[in-house]
Structure 1
Amino acid sequence: MSVNKEIKRITTNTLVKMKATGEKISMLTAYDFSFARIIDEAGIDIILVGDSASNVMAGHETTLPITLDQMIYHAQSVVRGVKRSLIVVDLPFGTYQGNSIEALSSAIRIMKETGAHAIKLEGGEEVVESIKRIISSGVPVMGHLGLTPQSIYKFGTYQVRAREEEEASRLKADAKLLEEAGCFGIVLEKIPAQLAKEVSESISIPTIGIGAGKYCDGQVLVMHDMLGINHEFKPRFLRQYLNLYELVNGAVKEYIEDVKQQRFPDETEQY
């Protein structure tokens, strides 16, 4: 389906309408002005300023170390490059799990200091009070169920979640709770495709899948994975659309060689 260029700005309401009409939602991460501008102009529906910045921008092993201040910096950079996409910012680990007042404070800081449009946080029943408090203040919230990377030390693995009936039932119940709490959408990460289908059909808000199959209302990938910048990471759910690592590596080698051999700069490249 071609990108709907007539839409001047994607809103949470746009996404609900897209689900109702069967138009799939496209979502990618971005963490800086330059890439945000490129993917916004390409027509992406949602840009997620993900706590995956902890991995791909800062080189940490997990998403846990990134701070609220760092997330705000990345979100500010992204907002300056975007005209059309809905910008969602992850609440980082430790900024909402303690209590709902802390969660609201974190969400308000992101909205006031960045100009982003919504926040995302991980978890189900255990964070519903925080979600309700944030939404009651006027801040839109996207949920996140399934594999929740901020809980990696609890899980002990990045394997597929909710294969067993008990965890699958809990996830379905959590999705309903998030909808009732007022979330405008839910990311479903690394769960069986059939379960994602059941969840997507059971709620009126959009589901955005990552490793959750084709039945979700939209898809999200980490930009660095999709473009092949992070070239070692090749999970089953990832489709790599470019091998940017090889392209950049080759260009840098060519530049080095031109400098060493005194081919750069030439007469046309000097004053």
Structure 2
Amino acid sequence: MCRVVDLRQAVLAKNDEAAQVLRTELTARGTTVVNLLSSPGSGKTALLERELLLARERGVAVAALTADLATENDAVRLARSGVPVKQVLTDGLCHLEAAMLGRHLDGWLPEDTRLLFVENVGNLVCPAGYDLGESLRVVLASVTEGEDKPLKYPTAFGLAQLVVVTKTDIARAVEFDEAAFRANVEQVNPGVEVVLTSARAGEGLGVLLDRALAAGAGTGTHTPVMARREHAYGLGHDHDHDHDEDHEQEYDHEHPHPHVHTVAQTR
């Protein structure tokens, strides 16, 4: 059992080192990384597509990398915005890692990119512990997922620098309790901003883009209590829950190389 915990801590420590190198390199060239985390079906692809279109309209040089276990569906949708888009298929790996991201950006990311949105694998568990060298970490949750989501996934929400609620156009139909959700977010991450959005209705459109630009400028970025308690994003290293023997392989990281596809832009 101890071997599993030690191996996970070693893997995450190595990832943190790679993340800091990547953050330094990208910051030096003027690129801000935004890491988007959510459950599958939260609506983050739909919202991101709208934000990418808005970025183009504003003349902001932006790109997007999206990761999934299978299919190129999200990349095809995002490419409709006309910005550079890359799809990464992880071959079963439930999250992106900093070194992996760095390899996929090498030779692809345009030099003048001001914002890079990374749509992480749909999962609120594994991705939460992996710093990708981002300057802004965003966790999204739809109104259909329940007000207790922040309490069920305290690391994901507790390390967020921005929380985005999606699909608010159907909030009344699903009886979403906004006050309860906000209270639960505040419990795990005091002071973090919660933004209400609807990709369909346009509510909150542009807030994600504005917050990303502010993070790139080094202004107004929330520092979670969890991140202050340890090194940045370090709390994710302390998850020493019991694991069965099969779970050791999850942290072996001898995974096949993810497939990468660059999706043609539509103008």
TM-score w.r.t. the length of structure 1 is: 0.35
Larger-Rg structure: 1
Task: Tell me: higher relative CO, structure 1 or 2? Use CA pairs within 8 A at least 6 residues apart.
Answer: 2
